[in-house]
A and B are shown apart, each in its own frame.
Chain A
Amino acid sequence: MKADKETVLTGAHFIDGDHAACEGAIAAGCKFVAGYPITPSTEVVERIALRFPLVGGIFIQMEDEIASSIAIQGAVWAGKKAMTVTSGPGFSLMMEHIGYAAITETPCVFINVQRGGPSTGLPTLPAQADMMQARWGSHGDYEIIAIVPNSPQECFDLTIRAFNLSEEYRVPVLVMMDECVGHMTEKVVIPEARQIDIVERKFTKKPPGEYKMFETNGTMVPEMVKVGDGYRTHLTGLTHDEQGYPAMSPKVQQRMLRRLVDKILLNEEKIRHIEEDHVEGADVVVISYGITSRVVLPAVNKARKEGVKVGHIRLITVWPFPESYIRELAKKVSAFVVPELNLGQIVHEVERCAAGNAVMQLVPHAGGAVHAPEDIYDTIKGVIEHA
């Protein structure tokens, strides 16, 4: 399936990441957005509010982020593609419904334009400190997919991918932008609609009566229905059986939860999206994501000029974490350097996967600005000297 040419703004644009994400959602077929104003993400929904009356979508400004994050799920069960957009404090309020989307397998997209925290923190300044919250923020065990763009162009491209993945796996997909990427204005090329691949929802072809809400038939992802088609299904946030009925037993819990987790983890390689630079034969590999990946470039270039064999990996999907990839790589390199705009989050994942096979060095930053490239350069030099 291709995007709808009536809605895609084909051409070269000079826009910021927030606006590009909005265009990505429209191109992906999003028809319902609920949101609540919060810096630095508001420009996404402001543009949605401007554009939707012209492309047949509905935007509603809800009373808070809790309402926004569940209103979109109502729209999804009416058969539409939907998303909400927020930043740290709002993201905290949305945790409840990331869990609801996970257990009910409701495909939807959450954009978080990250700012410094905790609490109100740094409303107008960047951070990458919600990465663990994205993974673990709602209670209970579950898996989500999280994608991290590093440019306005990617805000467009990856928002489309977020919608596609959410439909493919029936999972909430989180686009983890940050204030820099959200407010950075660059050239964004929006291709023609026929060049944009769209994943449509898999609605069941079974007649009512034969269809069961969570029957998988050998696949990992059940087919969906929409309200009003006569299926009269029941959806609950309680642990449920294949019929969708509440069934609170250790056995049903095990079966349901195992599949919710496995449908993502067993497809990690398919979901994986990594950019590699000079990794082959590297002694040291810098692992970064989002805006930080762009600050890494001058640091690794300078080190390379001095003869240091340094590679760079950019994680574009951070969750599910590319565990086997990092594990294998750790056997080939002597050290990893992990700069992130927080005091240490993804570095712990890298360390876990490296399992002692490589030296680990975090380059922390409390947020509010990006790293100084020199800090990353100094760390690279430091691990080489000690390796």
Chain B
Amino acid sequence: MLDQQTAEIEVPEAQNPVESLLRMDRMPHIWCPGCGIGTTVNCFARALEQSKLDLDKVAIVSGIGCTGRVAGYLNLDSFHTTHGRAIPFATGLKLANPDLKIVVYSGDGDLFAIGGNHFIHAARRNVDMTVICVNNLIYGMTGGQVAPTTPVTAKGTTYPYGSYDPPFNLPYLADSSGAGYVARWTVYHVRHVTKAIKEAIAHRGFSFVEIISPCPTLYSRRNRLGDGLDQMKFYKENSEIKNGADTKEVGMDFQGKIIVGKFVDRERKTYRQLMNEHLSNVFGEQFTPYEG
């Protein structure tokens, strides 16, 4: 009798808890073992689930590179655009359909080297979108060249003797360009990352989340920093949470302390609000607002 009962118990098939948000027909993904991008995707998916948004109205836009592939794995309206141009594509998408929630998801090289100009202008305009930057301090897909985020003295294939090219402090850049929400976490801080993404998505206007993430294949190995797990231990031991920190003070040195936290949270009128309010004042009833 007991045996029969046991036989009748259905063992649930192991399922990824965020599977409904993934394009399972595209798995396995391209990311290396120990890479942090998958962790950020997991956090993003959980944040989206918790946000209770209508997911048919969420669009994700990526540029090119390892993180640029995120759009292709998410079961959302998703766009894999050209190198550095996710933000202006997203600007057109958002302005043309204001009902959409737009997330730009890309890497540090894509967003801040070739795409740097677009980033500062979208932040300045306060176009309503969330930009998630997975910052692995290097160009991964092309094979380990230095990025505008690579700390000085770290090695990349194009600065083989160590970089002397001063990097950006991304939260400071976002803050000074006008972003309304700015946070930085590492992939060690999964709950904080999830919460930050949730807050950034809920924020009206331009929001920015930087996630420090290991590239074991091309950054850690060349710089003799161990594997992905070693990097996670490093993040655990060397991160310091400082919510509200002055973004000027959060620049990163090679293997130095990583200041994490929510740095900026302020309201500004969005580009669309500014446009509609101004044109309504100018034209009065003659103004024909864009209907979307």
Contact = CB atoms under 8 A, between A and B. Distances in A.
A100 B82 contact: yes
Contact of B23 (A80, A234, A238): A234
Nearest to B286: A54
B59 to A, nearest CB: 5
Nearest to B55: A232
Interface in A66-112: 66-68, 70-80, 82, 96-97, 100
B283 A71 contact: no
A350 B284 CA distance: 55
Nearest to A71: B92
A80 B288 contact: no
Given A62-B88, A71-B92, A236 B82 contact: no
B273 interface: no
A234 B77 CA distance: 6
Contacts of A96: 82, 85
Given A63-B121, A227-B100, A232 B92 contact: no
A31 interface: yes
B26 interface: yes
B46 to A, nearest CB: 18
Interface in B270-292: 275, 279, 282-283, 286-291
Counting chain A residues whose Cβ lies within 8 A of the other chain, the interface size class is 35 or more
B76 A237 contact: no
B71 A53 contact: no
B82 A74 contact: no
Interface in A21-53: 31-32, 34, 53
A66 B78 contact: no
B289 to A, nearest CB: 7
Given A71-B89, A74-B90, A245-B72, A234 B95 contact: no
B72 A75 contact: no
Residue in A31, A64, A67 whose Cβ sees the most chain B Cβ within 10 Å: A67
A226 B121 CA distance: 26
Contacts of A58: 95-96, 275, 290
Most buried by B among A71, A96, A229, A245: A71
A55 interface: yes
A72 B75 CA distance: 24
B176 interface: no
B30 to A, nearest CB: 10
Contact of A71 (B91, B100, B282): B91
Given A54-B287, A63-B121, A233-B77, A74 B99 contact: no
A369 B87 CA distance: 40
A235 B80 contact: yes
A153 B61 CA distance: 39
B81 to A, nearest CB: 6
Nearest to B87: A67
A136 interface: no
Nearest to B283: A53
B76 A74 contact: no
A228 B96 contact: no
B225 to A, nearest CB: 31
B93 interface: yes
Contacts of B55: 232
**Band of interface residues on B:** 35 or more
A237 B81 contact: yes
A70 B92 contact: yes
Contacts of B291: 56
A97 B96 contact: no
Interface string A234-257: 111110000001100000000000
Given A54-B283, A54-B288, A245-B72, A60 B59 contact: no
A121 B149 CA distance: 37
A252 to B, nearest CB: 15
Contacts of A79: 96-97
A373 interface: no
A77 B279 CA distance: 26
A78 B92 contact: yes
A349 B99 CA distance: 48
A56 B97 contact: no
A246 B57 CA distance: 23
B72 A67 contact: no
Contacts of A63: 88, 117-118, 121
Contacts of B99: 228
Given A62-B88, A228-B77, A238-B80, A82 B96 contact: yes
B13 interface: no
Contacts of A32: 92, 95-96
Contacts of B72: 234, 236, 245-246
Contact of B92 (A53, A75, A230, A233): A75
Contacts of A70: 81-82, 85, 88-89, 92
B10 interface: no
A56 B290 contact: yes
B88 A228 contact: no
B76 A232 contact: yes
A6 B156 CA distance: 59
- Most chain A beta carbons < 10 A, residue from B57, B92, B121: B92
Contacts of A233: 77-78
Nearest to A96: B82
Contacts of A53: 279, 282-283, 287-288
B85 to A, nearest CB: 5
A67 B85 contact: yes
Given A67-B85, A230-B56, A72 B288 contact: no
A341 B90 CA distance: 38
6 contacts: A64-B117, A70-B92, A71-B92, A75-B93, A227-B59, A228-B57
Question: Which 5 A-B pairs give the minimum distances between C-beta atoms?
Answer: A74-B92, A78-B96, A71-B92, A74-B93, A75-B96
Interface of A: 31-32, 34, 53-58, 60, 62-64, 66-68, 70-80, 82, 96-97, 100, 226-238, 245-246
Given A34-B88, A246-B80, 6 more contacts: A67-B88, A70-B88, A71-B92, A78-B96, A79-B96, A232-B75
